[in-house]
C-alpha cells in the first residue's frame, strides 16, 4: 500500500501529468465565468469562481444551469444600489 501511495505522489508531482488537467480546468472555468458575467449572473459567477471541480461543474453550468438566474439579479441590484452615488 505504501508503494502505491508513493507512486501516486510521484505521478501527481509530475508536471507532464498535471498540465493537461490544469489547461482543461482553466479553459472551462474561464468560459463559464465569461458567460455568467455577460449574463450578469453574479451569484453564479461567485459560485463558479470558488468551486473547483476540474471543469465538470462549469460544463454543467454552460449546458444547463445558465438558464436559471438563482437570485433574479437581486444581488447585483443590491450592490449597485449600495455603491451608487446619490444626487444631492
pLDDT of amino acid 6:
85
For the chain, counts of helices (H) and of strands (E)? 5, 0
Per-residue pLDDT of the chain (88 residues; tens, 9 = 90+): 788 888 878 877 777 878 888 898 999 999 999 999 998 888 888 888 898 887 888 888 888 887 776 777 777 777 788 788 665 4
Q: Which residues contact 24 (CB under 8 A, 6 or more apart)?
A: 54, 55
Q: Which residues contact 70 (CB under 8 A, 6 or more apart)?
A: 41, 43, 44
Q: Which residues contact 57 (CB under 8 A, 6 or more apart)?
A: 32, 48, 51
pLDDT of amino acid 86:
64
Instruction: Compute the CA torsion angle 85, 86, 87, 88 (nearest 10 deg).
Output: -120
pLDDT of amino acid 27:
93
pLDDT of amino acid 31:
92
Amino acid at each position: 500500500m505504501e508503494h502505491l501511495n508513493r507512486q501516486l505522489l510521484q505521478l501527481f508531482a509530475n508536471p507532464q501529468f498535471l498540465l493537461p488537467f490544469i489547461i482543461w480546468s482553466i479553459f472551462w472555468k474561464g468560459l463559464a465565468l465569461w458567460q455568467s458575467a455577460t449574463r450578469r449572473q453574479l451569484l453564479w459567477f461567485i459560485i463558479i469562481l470558488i468551486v473547483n471541480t476540474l471543469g465538470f461543474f462549469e460544463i454543467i453550468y454552460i449546458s444547463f444551469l445558465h438558464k436559471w438566474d438563482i437570485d433574479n439579479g437581486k444581488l447585483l441590484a443590491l450592490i449597485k444600489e449600495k455603491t451608487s452615488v446619490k444626487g444631492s
